Structure formats: C-alpha cells, structure tokens
Structure 1
Amino acid sequence: MPWPSPPVVATGFPGAVAPVRVGRQGIYDRRRTLVAYELLFRNHGGASADLAEGAEQDHATSQVISATFGDFGVGQIAGDKPLFINLTRGFFTGELPIPFPPHQVVLELLENVEVDEEVMAGLRRLKDQGYRIAVDDFIGEPGRLPALGLADYVKIDVAAAGDAFDEVLALAREHSRDALVVVERIEDDALFARCLAAGADLFQGYGLQRPVTLEAVSLTPSQLVCLQLVRALTGTDVPIREIEDLVASDPALSLRVLKTVVSAATGTKNEITSLRQAIVMLGPQQLCSWVVLMLLGGVTGVDTESLTMVLARAAACARLAPAVADLAYTVGLLSGVASVLGMPEADLVDTTGVAGTVREALVQRHGPAGAALRAVLAYEEDEPCAITGTGHAVYEVSRAYLAALSDAMLTVGAVAGDS
C-alpha cells in the first residue's frame, strides 16, 4: 500500500507560546546572609508592574503564583529558601484559592488591604493551616495593628516611615513580639548600619541586591479546557478518567500539572511516571485551584496545527505501547511540547522533575515507551527504514498514528470551535 504522508510538524506555536516572567529579590539577615526571597510580578514589556486595584492585582498575583509553581519550578527560583509572595484581599478571605502548601511560602498582606473582620478571620484560618504571615509596608497605621498579632514577619518601608522609623519599629515590636522585623528599601551601607543598630532582624533593598527578572517560555492552556475542568472538578463523583482526558487534551495544562506536583507536593517520595499519577497525587481540590489561577492569569490562544501534532504524537505512543500506555502518553506529550518550544528534551525533563523512567524513555529512548516514541518520530519524518529498527512494523505505526491523529483533530476542533 502507498506510504501515507505524515502531517507537517510545526516548529512554533504562534499565539500560544508566552514568555513568563517573575522578579526575585533577596532578603538578608544581620550578617548579610541570604535567607529568603520575595517574588515580584514582572510585565513582559518592562521591568516592573504598576498594579491597579482589585482585578488587575488579582491577575498579577495569579500570574506570579502560576509562573512560580507551574512554569519555573520553585527549586529553580529559590532552592530551599522561603518565598515571600504578595497576596491581595481575595486570597486572604478565601475568595481566591491558595494552591500551594505552607512549608516554603510566606503570605504577604499588602498595605492596601483593609484589615477588617473578614480579613482577620482569613488570617486566623491560614495560620491554623500552617501558613506564615507577613504584614507588608507597615508604617504605624492603627487600622493594621490587629493583623500584627498574627504576623510572623512585619515589613517596614524605611523610606516611607522616614523620621518616624524608630517609633514604627517600636510599635511593631509592641504588637507583634515574636515576629521578625524586615526593613525594606535598604539603599546603601549607611542605611543598613542604621537599621541594624535599631534592632531590625532582616533586610531587603537595592543596597543588598537588585531585583533579578527570570524569564521562561510557557505554553498557555486554553480557557475552554480550564472552564471544562472547573465544571468537572466541582461536580460530584466525576471519574478520574474524565479528568485525565480533559487535562490530557491540553499539552500546556498537562505540563503544568506535572511540574506542579513536583514543585508543590510535600512528604512524598513517589516518582512521577504518568499524567494520571500526577493528577491523583495533586488531587481534585488542588487541581481546581490551579485551573482557577490559570484562568485568572489570562491564559489564551491555541495554535491548532501544533496542538494537533502534540496530541497525536502522545496518543500514538500510547497505542504502540499498550502495556505502559500512561508512561508512553506522557513521553509522547513531553516530546511534542519540547518540539513546540524548541527546547532540548533533557532540559524539559529537568524542569518537570518527572521520574527516571520517563527520562530514560524520552531522552535515551529506552524501553517500550522509548521504542514507541522512536517509531512515531520516524513516521513524522517519513523514514520507514528507521521505523523497522524500533521493532514496530510500518503498517502498525501508520495505523496507530492515523487513529491518534483523527482523535487529536476531533479534540482540537472542539476546542478551537468553542474558544
């Protein structure tokens, strides 16, 4: 029979590959030893973001959280050091989800958040859950004093406090005896020495470290899939297979799920070998939280040709290795994402932190999943001789790929048609 022409494999993802930026600035102790980082939102076109009230701040905060735990991986940004993250009112009152565990984050209560009973109740709830709280930019406002009683850190802007700095520091000590005082806007050695003599505990500012902007390329999950997931995850008795199918239908979302489990999961030594395992470990509530944040972060755009290629490659690998179908799907998925991003597969595996079995199959092409990937890639490159070297028949691979391509086109058509 004639050799079927393989589809053209896209090398770019116009409209759906977005640069993700976060800023990072160090926080230092009295000996000028780096002890923590603060995460800062960065616009793509500039060094910093001037944030408006309400929805725009929620949007920026969601991008910081999503990028930190989904695109970079917390270890790439901060190692094992605490991360201070600015949160807006909705995160403290429970209107917006906090989708990460408390062990490595400090939640900063911004200066423009009114400390009312609703916020105080949220602070108590978060403290009970094990989160650490920082009251940001405190300059002695009476209305913020109740929050100091629950604070683990009190941050004082030395420039804003001005001549009243010593009084503000004394007020912070009086109302939050166990909290560490962090002085911000340390611009030079003289100001560091002054605040050190005043008794401050931690220090942050350009005189110690200028903010560093980190940038990575990220696939943006489609809003339609995110909305479908929210509906499914908030329903009752939704089969795990339905959740898995929805996540698997969007390569970017699949990649974020894999990264998020590695970055945010605590207390587990299990290696991640499949998308299903990652979804189960993340759990429906945590997954729903991330999907909500992705929607808030303004995720948009799907390039149908590239998306079809990624999904077809993943599904074809699964069809060719039915004994390890979950592993093979994940390997094919990551291979396709690497092609779209123009990133070496080994680097992509490092950023996701998936198991050694995934690396062996994806990078070294070992095992049934690795052989399936080699066969699928050879099919895409129109190299029938290379296919036979994988142990698979040309006809078998062609049939598997065309079936996978048909399913992928239906999935992409549904997404593109409704988005």
Structure 2
Amino acid sequence: MTAAEPGAEDADNQVVIARQAILDENRAVFGYELFDRSTAAHSHTAASDAALLFNALCYAGSEALGSKKIVFINCTHESLAGGHLELVHPEKVVLEVPTLAANATPEQIEQLLPTLQALRTRGFRLAFSQDVLRRAYGSWLPLANFIKLNMLAIKPELIEPLVKYVRANAQATLIAEKVETAEQHERMAALGVKLFQGYWFARPAMVKAQTIRPSQATIIQLINLVRQQASTDEIEDLLKKDPTLSFNLLRFINSSGFGLSCEITSFRHAVMILGLKKLFRWAALLLTTSRKDGTAPAVGQTAVVRGRLMELLAAELLPKEECDNAFVVGVFSMLDSMLNMPMERALESVALPDSVQQALLHNQGVFAPFLELTKACESGDDAAFARCAEALHLSNRQVNWAHLQALAWAESLATEA
C-alpha cells in the first residue's frame, strides 16, 4: 500500500483514505484524522462514516494509518448510534461530533445527550468544534475530550478568551486546527495549546490500498448462517469455501483498530473471538462495500481446490491440528494473483503462522512439499508430479483420489453459491 493520488485504474478494487496528522508541541505525530476519498463525491453520511471506518480497519492497514496512533473520525449524528462502532476498540478512535444546525432547539440538542453519554461510557473519546462552547451546548461540554479551535473561523482577538474559557469550564484537550501560518502556531503555543493540525504542518496524504472482496452471494450466505445462529463448524466451513472471505476476516480481526493483544491465525479462533453479533456487523458492512461479483471465479476456484487438496494430503501425514494450516497455505497461495502484487506484500496485511508464511514466501517448512505437489497436480507435469509424490511417500492413487475429491468439493461449492 502506498501514499498516492487516487487513479482510475482498478478503481473498483481500491480504497483511498486521506489522513492528516495531528502533531504535539514537539511536532511528533499524536494521531491522524481520516477522510474517505474512495469516491469522487465526498458526501458525508452515516453510511460513509461506517464505510470509512470499515475500510480503514480492513484494507488500509495499521502501518499506513499510523500503527498505534489514534485516529479521529468525523461522524454524523445518525452514525453515532451505528453498529459499526462495535467493531472497533474504543481506545483507538476519537469520534468528531458536529453540533446541530444554528436553528436547533434546546430539545433537539438534549435528545443527543444520552447517545453521547453512552459512547463515553463505552470508552470512546469525543471531539467537538468550538461551537460546543455556545451556551446551548452546556450539557455536552463535560463530555468533550478534545475541542478543536478553527484558526480560520475565529477572530484573532477572540482566541485568547476562548482558550481561557475552555480551561475554566472543561476538562478537554485543545487542538488548534487549520493552522496555516507560523504566526498562528506561535500564538496558540504561547497560550499553552499542545496539539496542532493544518496545512502549515502537513496536508492530507492519500493512502491507497488494493482490496479483494468476496462475492455478495457468499457474504449473504454468511449473514444467513449468523442470523440462524449456526455453529462455529458451519461458519468455519463457509470461510473455507471462499478464500477472499477468510482473508478479509483475518485481516480485519488482526487490525490495530480491533485492539487484540495477540494475532489470530485460524478461522475458528477468529469466529470465536468475534462472536455472532460482531460477525454479523462485519459481514453486513462487507456486503455494503462489495461489488456484485468478487474476485475472478477462476482464481477463487483454483485457490479453493488447492486448499482442500492440501488439507486432504496433510491428513495422510500430519497431526490433525496441522490440517487447518495446510488448508490456509493452499487458499492463500494465490493472494498475489488476487491482489495483483508480490506475495510478500500481500501477506503484510494478514496474520499467519510462521509455518504458513515459510511455505508461501520461501517454499520452505513442513507445508512446502504439499504445496509443490498441489501445484504439480495442476500443471500436468508428470515428472514433477512423480517427484513430489515420492518425496512425501504418497502413492499416485492417494494423490489422484485426493485431487478428485478436492475438485468435486470445489465444484459443489460453486453449485451451492
């Protein structure tokens, strides 16, 4: 993934997120404000809020978005009650909450108070503009963790009184935003403001990520299984059927925004950690950002055959617990084709066991001979097939039978979809 201007090439398969740094007094990055730039129309709606957070977690990756830095996300009032916020660790995100229209009534302002209080109770931090300092928003002010002072919207003579007012009436950290000159920075620093954002420091940088999205039919299957409260085994079976679905799930659950302290490397573990409620939220958001048709069918079909064949071959020689990893090696062995990038780069965005990575990146380790044999089955190279089968002490009959089973299984999945 790279910082780049969004282009037309493969636009349907790209997520483009703008990030602008928020710096401390030492000009170290405190956090990033994120903006969705995946579409030409920069409309700001509850749906776009959910898509931005989902895309940032699932596709753009922790390195591109600031690793352990917090991110600031602009919200609509509708999105503050959205289920997508259940998918992120509250400590990772600051929600920027707008005030209401100038003609809003006191009743309308108070109606939002329980939602804001609930978010704070869940651990989210809230940021407001200087409009929250107006008398009508007195009940919101104690909930503010950050207050942004817009240097282009405040008259210079009002800046010092506003800073003093915040210090006397709120526990919030001040952020001077839209800082465009050295003079503005020096004035705010002299008043004790510690955080800064604006063109004088850094313009928003574009983070572009390549995506692979499952077909809508497969995602709908997953949603139906979750709504039926299917067993972990049934859900794991579906994840095994579609490498793009399982890839997206592992990448999401291991993103920095999810907040886990350890990496999840198996489908079953991912389902158990996420739980049915969050799995439903994730699948629903994945559906809203997916296209009618996902990855090219031939690529996905080949990946599924590889996974199943490796699983069957491993069952002949390896402990049962290793068969899952053999399946993962097979289905993820075509990630470079799916993402149209080198395998090493493709694997940066998903956590996999070292033994799996060794096979995929270096053709080494316990799974490498199985992957080599699987590829020989596809190639029709009799000499390579014989050599690989002999290395594993498997007979032609064992391998051919497993290959036929894998092909039949993959064909049955295509029919079901």
- Could you tell me the TM-score, scaled by structure 2's length? 0.84
The alignment status of 1:342 with 2:344, answered yes or no, reads: no
Residue in structure 2 matching 1:320, options 310, 313, 317:
313
Structure 1 residue 166 displacement after superposition:
4.2
Structure 1 residue 84 displacement after superposition:
1.2
Instruction: Tell me: CA distance 1:107–1:139, structure 2 relative to 1, closer, same or farther (3 Å).
Output: closer
Residue in structure 2 matching 1:297, options 286, 289, 303:
289
Unaligned runs of 5+ in 2: 1-8
Aligned runs of 1:10-409 on 2, under 5 Å? 18-44=13-39, 49-52=41-44, 57-94=45-82, 96-111=84-99, 116-136=109-129, 138=131, 140-163=133-156, 164-175=158-169, 177-236=170-229, 238-263=230-255, 264-266=257-259, 268-269=261-262, 271-302=263-294, 303-322=296-315, 323=320, 324-390=322-388, 391=392, 392-409=394-411
CA distance in 1 between partners of 2:332 and 2:42 (Å)? 36
Structure 1 residue 17 displacement after superposition:
6.3
Could you list the per-position Cα deviations for residues 9-62 of structure 1 after superposition, in whole angstroms to 9, with x for gaps in the alignment?
A: xxxxx9996011111110011232221111111125x5xx5215xxxx233222
**Structure 1 segments of 4 or more deviating over 6 A?**
14-17
Structure 1 residue 295 displacement after superposition:
2.6
Equivalent residues, number: 392
Instruction: Tell me: CA distance 1:159–1:414, structure 2 relative to 1, closer, same or farther (3 Å).
Output: farther
Q: Which amino acid aligns with 1:223?
A: Q
Percent identical among aligned pairs is 27
Structure 1 residue 147 displacement after superposition:
2.4
CA distance in 2 between partners of 1:241 and 1:137 (Å)? 52
Residue in structure 2 matching 1:412, options 407, 411, 414:
414
Query: Helix, strand or coil for the counterpart of 2:112?
Result: helix
Q: Which has the higher contact order (CA 8 A, sep 6+)?
A: 1
Q: Which amino acid aligns with 2:245?
A: L
Structure 1 residue 154 displacement after superposition:
1.2
CA distance in 2 between partners of 1:133 and 1:120 (Å)? 12
Q: Larger deviation: 326-335 or 154-163? A: 154-163
Structure 1 residue 384 displacement after superposition:
2.9
Q: Larger deviation: 110-119 or 130-139? A: 110-119
- Could you tell me the TM-score, scaled by structure 1's length? 0.84
Instruction: Tell me: CA distance 1:87–1:407, structure 2 relative to 1, closer, same or farther (3 Å).
Output: farther
Verify the 8 A CA contact 1:15 1:301 in the aligned structure 2: no
Structure 1 residue 97 displacement after superposition:
4.0
What is the alpha-carbon root mean square deviation over aligned residues?
A: 2.8
CA distance in 2 between partners of 1:309 and 1:15 (Å)? 22
Instruction: Tell me: CA distance 1:321–1:107, structure 2 relative to 1, closer, same or farther (3 Å).
Output: same
